[in-house]
Amino acid sequence: MNMNMQSTAQFGDKDILTDMLSSQKFVTDGYNTYANECATPALKTDFMNILNEEHSIQNELFTEMQKRGWYATEAADQNKINQAKQKYQA
C-alpha cells in the first residue's frame, strides 16, 4: 500500500455532524440499557448522570444541525395534539 496516496473520501460538516448525531443516539441507547439494569442505587445514579450528559450532547448536535437547515422537523398537527391530550387525560 502506498502511504503517499491521499484518501479521495472527503467529509463535509453536514456529514460529520450527521455521523456524530447518529453516534450519540447509539451511545444513549447503550447507557439507557445499562441504567435499567443497575444492581445498586449508586450505580444507577452514576449511569443516569452519564445518560443525561449524553442526551445533552445529542441535543446540542441536533440543535446545531437544525440551525443549519440539515435536520428539518415538521410541526405537529394541532388536532392530533389535542387528541393525544384527551387520550392520556382520561
- Contact call for residues 65 and 18 (beta carbons, < 8 A): yes
- Contact call for residues 57 and 24 (beta carbons, < 8 A): yes
- Contact call for residues 36 and 69 (beta carbons, < 8 A): no
Q: What is the pTM of this model?
A: 0.72
Q: Render pLDDT for 48-88 as a digit per residue (tens, 0 to 9).
A: 999 999 999 999 999 999 999 999 988 889 999 999 999 99
